[in-house]
Amino acid sequence: MAKSLQEQLLAAGAVDKSRATKLKKAKHKKAKQQARGSAPEDEVKISAKQSQADKVARDRELSRIKQQEIEEKGIAAQVRQLVENNRVEQMTGEIAYSFADENIVKRIYIDARQQQLLINGKLAIARIDEAYELIPAPIARKISERRPQTILVLNHSGAPSDLDDDYAEFEIPDDLSW
């Protein structure tokens, strides 16, 4: 009967016995892994690198979202500070001024001077949490650059548009309010 290559190499003295047993065990281990269907080491390394790359991408995305949330909180704090530092004191007036807040008509009571300033675009209405504050128009413009949903009413003063010119001959009643 013919001897295996390993036995022939042992007989010739080209390989010692311990080296031959290591090679035999390695060959047996590799055959066993292939029989189980487990991936060879190269595929394991590739999948490990891929999962590491996926984890890095996921971590970057989470970091970007977290940074964006921090920036939004900072802007909200700046807007709150601008409104609180520049708000106009509201005296309890007799005139109800109506405006829309998220498709709901809201009302604040102001005096005649504040009403005229709102109409002329010198004052604006801003919402902080559930409170409504009157603020000067230049401050409102700064706030609307950062967070436009905070400013609810900001009338633009200036020259009338072409649409207004068509109705210039009609007089607007003084007692008109909605």
Q: What is the pLDDT of residues 1-34, one digit of tens each?
A: 577 777 887 788 877 888 888 888 888 888 887 7
Q: What is the pLDDT of residues 119-170, one digit of tens each?
A: 888 999 999 888 888 999 999 999 988 888 888 888 886 544 545 567 777 7
Q: What is the pLDDT of residues 36-90, one digit of tens each?
A: 765 556 788 888 999 999 999 999 999 999 999 999 999 999 889 988 888 888 7
Name residues whose C-beta falls within 8 Å of residue 107's C-beta, 6 or more positions apart in sequence.
Answer: 96, 97, 98, 99
User: Could you tell me which residues are beta bridge partners of residue 136?
Assistant: 123
Residue 167: helix, strand or coil by DSSP?
A: coil
Residue 101: helix, strand or coil by DSSP?
A: strand
H-type alpha helices, the chain? 5-12, 17-36, 41-86, 112-120, 137-146, 162-166
Largest interatomic CA distance in the chain = 122
* Torsion of Cα atoms, 87 then 89 then 95 then 97, to 10°: 10
Domain locations in the chain as residue ranges: 51-178
Cβ atoms of 166 and 142 within 8 Å: the answer is no
54-66 in b/e form (b: 16+ CB < 10 A) is: eeeeeeeeeeeee
Q: In degrees rounded to 5, what are phi and psi of residue 98?
A: -100, 145
State the Cα–Cα distance between residues 19 and 32, nearest whole angstrom: 20
pTM exceeds cut of 0.75 = no
